[in-house]
Amino acid sequence: METRSTTLLVIGGGPGGYVAAIRAGQLGIATTLVEGDRLGGTCLNVGCIPSKALIHAAGEFEQARAYAQESPLGIHVASPRIELAQTVRWKDGIVARLAGGVAGLLKKSGVQVVGGWARIIDGKTVEVTTGAGQDALRIVCEHMLLAPGSQVVALPAMPFGGKVISSTEALAPKALPKRLVVVGAGYIGLELGTAYRKLGAEVTVVEALDRVLPAYDDELTAPVAASLRRLGVRLHLGCTVQGLNASGDAVRIRDAQGEESALPADQVLVAVGRWPRTAGWGMEGLMLNMNDRAVRIDDQCRTSMRNVWAVGDLTGEPMLAHRAMAQGEMVAEIIAGRRRHFMPSAIPAVCFTDPELVVVGRTPPEAKQAGLDCISAMFPFAANGRAMTLESGDGFVRVVARRDNHAIVGWQAVGQSVSELSAAFSHSIEMGERLEDAAGAIHAHPTLGEAMQEAALRALGRPLHVARA
Ligand code: FAD
Ligand code: NAD
């Protein structure tokens, strides 16, 4: 068996692993990255990027269909149609371009990329199976970075297969199901459920808890719930899934009162969460300290074993690509001798529903729970000129700040295109902004961002574009 040695061995070429490898290569560290599937990982191939492409295409199609009815803008189009195979090809083209970009960047940084599945032998050695009929390769390293990501959670009562699909299959539809039942009203269920509805499927969402996007507060999710109803998405909240019926054409559910019913389904998308990928590749043998299902790390992404590091979904919530990338970049710098700690003031979370939802820092209930005495204020997009010109008066920007010194601890927004406000929200909190700073900075007019300034003004008791309470 061929044996190679390297300073840093990265297992997994998703956003956590490939960013670590690029930075390490830039810093002159001999780096090898092993990827069993496709460079870019879940995010690029079957996650963030393809889902946002499909969501965009579905939104455009829905807009065209709306113009075919009646448009206040005076736009008229003949009855539009969508050729799904072409939509999927377009989405695949974006993924391929980005994946090619990642491969190019790794090469330019001098990273050795090995295609194959890594199996851990010990904290310094892996064996890689590179393909049928090919010899295994042994790689010995000084530092090992674990970045294998996460895997989808299956429902025991309704395992994947046949008409029961995960987000991966939902992102590459061969045809549109007439009736789609979505299990789970979290990120994936609502992002993809909404997209399928806009593409023309009848969509029914089943959620175990009593609200959609239960991780967020009522005020924030109310516009999303209202929009789902407007779009004609049926919601069954507080319901548990019992499995498919005997003929396999309906999902049996039970509500909080114990009443059972059946939801006809041509396809079922199960989106009830993801778990860190901890088993099946020898990681168990390292006997690392765990945090429930995730690998426990410190604020430098060190595991309990010397020179074994872990980043991304393997390390648990929040399972977001930008967190994985930030961790990966930091680990490379620490290995290169720099002093770094992972202590972000806030990690933004964006849900690409319609309307979009952004949460950065603490929400009012979270601030209260943390024992902080806070004030909060929101500015509605109904009073924002730019939102009106975009036909999107739904939603608001909300700010949360400490009552004593006005330090901003949270920004949230729900509304069209608010994902793009997440950068300003993150900067604000990371830079320790106070309400007076946000209120005093000149915001370009007319933009959605003006709602940030107005929310801060309102929190200070001196709003300009809504009446004082
Ligand atoms: P991954 O991206 O999962 O990469 C891990 C890689 O390791 C994979 O390529 C895998 O093949 C490889 N691997 C695993 N084991 C081995 C082994 N033994 N040997 C070799 N290779 C191995 N996050 C966001 O921030 N924004 C979004 O909009 C967003 N949308 C999403 C939409 C969907 C449908 C899904 C499923 C996820 C989405 N996410 C989103 C989450 C995001 O994709 C993950 O948080 C992110 O990909 C985690 O990065 P990672 O590097 O930890 O792991
Ligand atoms: P999620 O945790 O966001 O949502 C799962 C939902 O399923 C929850 O509301 C939960 O209450 C519900 N649920 C759990 N078991 C159930 C059951 N038996 N019956 C009915 N409902 C049930 O998980 P997800 O949507 O699968 O997404 C997985 C991860 O991927 C997320 O945690 C997130 O980190 C990541 N992701 C992020 C984005 C984004 O950033 N825009 C988009 C998609 C996915």
Could you report the per-residue pLDDT of 277-289, keeping only the tens digit for each?
Answer: 999 999 999 999 9
Protein residue whose Cα sits closest to atom 42 of ligand 2: 187
- CA atoms of 162 and 265, how far apart (whole Å): 12
The model's pLDDT over 143-167, given as tens digits with 9 standing for 90+, comes to 999 999 999 999 999 999 999 999 9
Mean predicted lDDT score pLDDT of the chain: 97
- CA atoms of 40 and 60, how far apart (whole Å): 26
Protein residue whose Cα sits closest to atom 14 of ligand 2: 272
Q: Which atom of ligand 2 is nearest to the CA of 190?
A: 25
Give distance in angstroms: CA of 413 to centre of ligand 2.
20
Model pLDDT, residue 467: 86
Ligand showing the shortest atom-to-Cα distance for residue 327: 1
Contacts of 205 (CB under 8 A, 6+ apart): 181, 182, 183, 184, 185, 189, 190, 193, 212, 228, 233, 234, 235, 236
CB 15 less than 6 A from any atom of ligand 2: no
Clarify whether 445 is annotated catalytic.
Answer: yes
CB 417 less than 6 A from any atom of ligand 2: no
- CA atoms of 54 and 125, how far apart (whole Å): 40
Protein residue whose Cα sits closest to atom 30 of ligand 1: 48
Ligand 1 lining (C-beta closer than 6 Å): 11-17, 34-37, 41-43, 47-48, 51, 117-118, 147-150, 167, 188, 277, 281, 312-313, 319-322, 324, 352
To test the ligand 2 pocket, which listed residue (272, 313, 356) has its Cβ within 8 A of the most ligand atoms?
272
Give distance in angstroms: CA of 170 to centre of ligand 2.
15
* Nearest C-alpha neighbor of 276 from the set 178, 387, 147, 452: 147
Protein residue whose Cα sits closest to atom 35 of ligand 1: 47
Does the pLDDT of residue 135 top 80, yes or no? no
Q: Is the Cβ–Cβ distance between 46 and 167 less than 8 Å?
A: yes
CB 351 less than 6 A from any atom of ligand 2: yes
The lowest-confidence range among 70-79, 153-162, 192-201, 421-430 is 70-79
Model pLDDT, residue 455: 98
- CA atoms of 32 and 4, how far apart (whole Å): 10
User: Is residue 327 within a helix (H) or strand (E), and if so which, with residue range?
Assistant: helix 321-335
To test the ligand 2 pocket, which listed residue (188, 252, 263) has its Cβ within 8 A of the most ligand atoms?
188
How far is the CA of 78 from the CAs of 75, 81, 200, 255, in angstroms?
A: 10, 10, 17, 43
Q: Quick one: pLDDT band at residue 133, thresholds 50, 70, 90? A: low
Contacts of 363 (CB under 8 A, 6+ apart): 216, 217, 220, 400, 410, 412
- CA atoms of 258 and 419, how far apart (whole Å): 39
Model pLDDT, residue 352: 98
Contacts 24+ apart (CB under 8 A), 67-74: 72/391, 73/391
Ligand showing the shortest atom-to-Cα distance for residue 275: 2
- CA atoms of 168 and 319, how far apart (whole Å): 16
Protein residue whose Cα sits closest to atom 12 of ligand 2: 184
Model pLDDT, residue 132: 67
How far is the CA of 111 from the CAs of 19, 34, 331, in angstroms?
A: 11, 10, 16
Q: Mean pLDDT, to the nearest integer, of 343-362?
A: 98
Give alpha helix (H) positions in 167-282.
Answer: 167-170, 187-199, 218-231
CB 183 less than 6 A from any atom of ligand 2: yes
* Nearest C-alpha neighbor of 172 from the set 192, 190, 152: 192
- Considering just the CA atoms, what is the radius of gyration of the chain in Å? 24
- CA atoms of 196 and 58, how far apart (whole Å): 7
